[in-house]
Amino acid sequence: MSKEIVTFRDSNAAVLFKKTEKVEKFDRSLAILADKMGEIMEKADGLGLAAPQVNSKLAVCLVKNGKKIVVFCNPKILDYSSEKDIMEEGCLSFPDIFLQVPRARSISIEYKDLKGKKKKIEAEGIFARAIQHEVDHLSGIVFTNRAGNKLIF
């Protein structure tokens, strides 16, 4: 795993566009990965971070909920509200690019924690938006794919 965040301009950027692999082992190495991701995210002042952004193929992402960081392993969004908001989004892997992205206002998500315990939560607002953004990363979908306006370089 790289200590730096993979950006779309990097030679290893392909990792950002590939579907991740399901976490099978909930062991010390997974906890170390999550800790390092948390440090990287905090240092970059991010709201969330997905494993592909640190060159890992595992289905793991972190999202801030207030001051707490929630680790999602093998997350699956079960339900999206019909109400949507369009807000400006950025991404640590797309520095200095901000686009208007429509997202569901609230979601229901199922995932496993770092010990492999199955959990289900409801999320709304910016927390729900960030979860949707990070879960997209785990499927190889980046926010530019969801944007309402076109990206121009």
Q: Catalytic site residue 124?
A: no
Q: What is the pTM of this model?
A: 0.93
Is the predicted pLDDT of residue 69 greater than 80, yes or no? yes
- Answer left, alpha or beta for residue 74, where phi above 0 means left and psi between -120 and 50 means alpha: left
The pLDDT of residue 153: 44
With cut-offs at 50, 70 and 90, classify the pLDDT of residue 148. Answer: confident
Query: From CA 124, how far away is CA 56, in angstroms rounded?
Result: 28
Catalytic residue chosen out of the listed positions 4, 89, 110, 134: 134
Cβ-proximal residues to 53 (8 Å cutoff; 6+ apart), any chain: 5, 6, 16, 92, 93, 137
The pLDDT of residue 4: 86
pLDDT in tens, 83-137: 999 999 999 999 999 999 999 999 999 999 999 999 999 999 999 999 999 999 9
- The CATH label, of 3.40.470.10, 3.30.43.10, 3.20.20.70, 3.90.45.10, for the domain at 13-146 is 3.90.45.10
The pLDDT of residue 37: 97
pLDDT in tens, 42-64: 999 999 999 999 999 999 999 99
Is the predicted pLDDT of residue 15 greater than 50, yes or no? yes
Is the predicted pLDDT of residue 150 greater than 70, yes or no? no
The residue extents of the domains of the chain are 13-146
